[in-house]
Structure formats: C-alpha cells, structure tokens
Amino acid sequence: MPPNDTAEFRGAGVLVLGAPDKRMKVLPAPFVRNGPPDQAAFHRRLLELQSESPLPLASLGHRLSMVEEVEAVGQPSQHRLEKPRPISVSWNSNYGSHGWHRYVGRFPPHVVRALLNHFGADSRSVVCDPFAGSGTTAVECRLLGIPFVGIEICPLSAMMTRAKAAFPSDSKLLLTLAQCFVAHYDAAWKAFVGNRNIAKISHAEVLERKGNQIPPFANVERWFTREALLGTSIAVEFGMQQQGFAREAVLLAISAKMRSIGNVDVDVVRAEYSKTPRRNVNVGKLVARQLMKMAGDISASLATHEGLISSGSDITVHEGSVLDVELGEGSIHHIITSPPYGIEAISYLRTHLLSYRSLVAHLGHDPYDARNKTIGSEYLTDIESDAGRRARERSKAFRAFFEKNPQGDDAKYEQRRAAMMQFCDDMLSVGERMARWLKRGGQVAFVIGNKRLGDEILPMDTIVTELFATCGLEPVDAIRHKLKTNNSNSQVPWQERIIQEESILLFKRTT
C-alpha cells in the first residue's frame, strides 16, 4: 500500500503513539488486532517502547515492529517481509532468513526489533548478543543495518547465526548453488548405486563410500534408512567442497531438513529416533528445495529492507563461551540477549543431535565435549564446591530462596540445586563482562525466565536484576510476560514445566 497523506486508515484500531511533540498514527499488525486477550497488554507495551525511540520519525516509521501501516509512511519493512494474513492471530517468527532452521527456545524477532527501535540502534551502533543461539538478534541487526557482534558456544548454532545473518547481497549464489548441488547429487548417487538395489546396500558400505565424511556412530541404522544415509552423505560431501557462506548454506539446508530426512520422532523436542523408519526419503530434493527457498528469502529481504539492510561484513560471530571470549572495553552500544533459563529441562544439544553427528566434518567436534562450559547445561558434572558463593553475597533474593530451600537427601534434587546456584554465579560473571563491554549509557535487554526447583519457583528475574545492579547496570524496567514464538496459541507439552514466567529486563550502564 502506498504512503497515505491522510489520517484515515482502513478498518479500525488505529493507535496514536509517542509524546505530544512526536506523535504518529499507526495501524497495528493483524496479529495485534486479532490476538488473544492475554497478549494485548504485552503487544501494547512493545508498541509504546518503540514510540519512545530517539530515532527520527521518518526512519522509525520504516522500521516499526508489529505495525501494518504508518501515517504518511505506508507499510513498514517488517510487515512487507512477514506478510501476515488479515486474520492472523499470532506473529510469524519465520519471515526472511529467520525461518531457515528450526530452533528450540528461539525468541520472536518482533521483540528484538521493538527493542532495537526503543534503544535507537542504527548504523553507528554496535549491538551484541552474548548468547546468540540461532541468530535472531543478528538477523534483525542485518536487516536494519546495525553492526552486530555475537557469541555462541554451540558450533551448530554459531553456523546458523553466520549463515542466516551474513547472507550475500544477491540471491544468485544460492540459485547457482542449488543447480550445482542437484547435478552433483545425481552423479554421485548413480556412481555409487549403479544398477544395484539400495535395499541391498548396508549402512556400513555407505559409510565406507569414497567421499563420505559422516563417521560411524551408535545406532546409525536406526537413525537413517539406507537411502537417507547415502543421500545425507552425498549432500555433506558437496557442502564440504564449498567455501565460506556457500559451504555453511548447504550444511544449514541439510540440518534444516533433518527431521524429514532421519528417522526422527517429530512429536518430541529431543532427538529420539522413531520406531517406524521414514520411507521414500529423497535428500536431493529436500536440500535443493531448501536452498531455493533460502534464495527467495534473500531476494525478499533485500527488496523489503532496501535502504536499511547492511553488508554481511557487519556481522561478527565468535564461537566460544561468553565467559571466555573477550570484547573491547566500551566497544558495545547495546546488548539484546536471552540466555538459557537456568538448568534446562530441554537440552539444545540433543535437540539437533543428528545434525551434529552428520556435520561433524565441518563443526569440528562432538557438542558434548563443551557441555560443561555451556551456561545452563543440564549435564554439568564439574560444579564448584562453593557454587553460589558470589551470588549469595550480592543478591538478597538468592539468599532468601536457597535458605528457604536447604539441602536435602535427594541426590537428583541436590544436583539440580547446586547447578542452579552455579548458574546464578555464572549470571553474575556475565553481568560483569557486559558492564565492561558497554559504553557508558549503553543499554541491555535481558530476556530471562523463572524456573522451578522442587515445589518452589526460583525468582531468576529478581536475582538477575540484583546481581546486575552490583555490576553498574541500573535496572530501568521489567516487562513480565510469557513470550510466544512461532504460534502464540500453541501449548506444547513441556512449556509449563520449563518456563513459569518470562521477563524482559531492561538495564542501563551508569558507571
């Protein structure tokens, strides 16, 4: 819809945002207008946060999140890329390259964009996500032309962030890559299978194929049918022949389709093989289609964000632990992140375990090798004997909770209790590092959820707020809500068990 010169918008529900001297009329996105009542206050708060932005109105109008139309501007770039249906009741978190790979625990890009607008981040800013995950903050920074620095300990997640955010400024590379992939795949399949029946070829023979880079692993015959294993082997072989973005794009496409390739039980979040083998798997078609989709997403992103989007060279991803990576003192303007919420009932490592096993030639190591260094890992085995000592000194809420919930005789409870205390110490270390990296006046948005220990809910939002305050990060606001990702109405079986309440905690560096 072209920009309008009047105050008349079609339909109803126009909002006036901003201070009296800086007002704008907007028509909220369909999912805001149609959404469930329990989302209304949260949506309104995100819109209000954006209206407080220091950005010029003309620039802000094109960047607005969760808005269908802006008076005298037209449709913002996000709305044009997302294309929500008029009857949508929830936001779509898979627009553009956001949708290139499934990822458990991903927070909505709409929230990230709203926070970037609230902070006034632009091409002169540097935004950091020290728990980059699958790259939601990175992609939004790329689309809005904001330099980004991310830190991510899991190699598969780091690869997702690089590929999704640092894509080329032209879709031709992926279109050509898809064509070359199909040619390679067909030739390699014919060369290996020939006139033989694939059902007569063993898994061991596939793994011994010249050019195969998937190492043997436990229960491989249960995870893959013969044709799926061979197809994955050929696809990985092609990917490893590429360089830079092209290599990671192919490997990302393989991983993205893994739940349609392997015998993965799609009804559970963890990686568990299905008792019923998947039949008629054509890895070549699945990966080629994914590459073509990715090419289309790049074209759409470039078109809808013309004048905003920056070069992929503005995206930097450090693969390692936030407690090990060093960034320059005062080098960061804003931080937007969401760490693991204490000791996870869901393991991100196991969720994509089959991808790790298949892509080890590129990823370089078994993810479990780093699990003891992963903050929030449920597999911690080297918990310090004085876990929680530093947090106890700094946080009144920490002391109150753990004095109320003393040690017991249940070994499993004790392991979880100690791990949560360790997590709080780690959060203090994170706060100290963020305060050091931020410029004075720099801002932080920290999305955190409260977890249950036994029958009690650990108030992680309050503990983190108190810990960060001792690091020179002044609490500014706390927006409490249960965040929704792909479908705001979905009720997954593990949701209530994991997240009791989520908060967007806002801070500013004052010292």
Q: How far apart are CA 372 and CA 358, in angstroms?
A: 22
Q: How far apart are CA 323 and CA 426, in angstroms?
A: 8
Q: How far apart are CA 373 and CA 97, in angstroms?
A: 29
Question: Given this model, what pLDDT does residue 304 score?
Answer: 98
Q: Break the chain into its structural domains and give their ranges.
A: 1-92, 172-301
Determine the number of helices (DSSP H) and then strands (DSSP E) in the chain. 22, 12
Read off the pLDDT band of 59 (50, 70, 90). Answer: very high
Q: What is the pLDDT of residues 23-55, one digit of tens each?
A: 889 999 999 999 988 889 999 999 999 999 999
Greatest mean pLDDT range, 28-37, 281-290, 421-430: 281-290
Read off the pLDDT band of 453 (50, 70, 90). Answer: confident
Q: How far apart are CA 43 and CA 195, in angstroms?
A: 60
Question: Given this model, what pLDDT does residue 497 score?
Answer: 42
What order of strands is seen across the sheet that includes strand 67-70?
A: 15-17, 24-28, 67-70
What's the whole-number mean pLDDT along residues 228-247?
A: 98
Read off the pLDDT band of 268 (50, 70, 90). Answer: low
Question: Given this model, what pLDDT does residue 348 score?
Answer: 57
For residue 257, give the amino acid letter: K
Interior CA angle at 163 toward 157 and 169, to 5°? 160
Is a pLDDT exceeding 50 seen at residue 488? no
Q: What is the pLDDT of residues 130-165, one digit of tens each?
A: 999 999 999 999 999 999 999 998 899 999 999 999
Render the burial of 445-476: b for 16+ CB within 10 Å, e for the rest: bbbbbbbbbeeeebbbbbbbbbbbbebbbeee
Asked which of 104-113, 138-147, 175-184 is least confident by mean pLDDT, the reply is 104-113
Q: Do the Cβ atoms of 330 and 128 come closer than 8 Å?
A: no
Mean pLDDT, rounded, of the chain:
87
Q: How far apart are CA 389 and CA 399, in angstroms?
A: 10
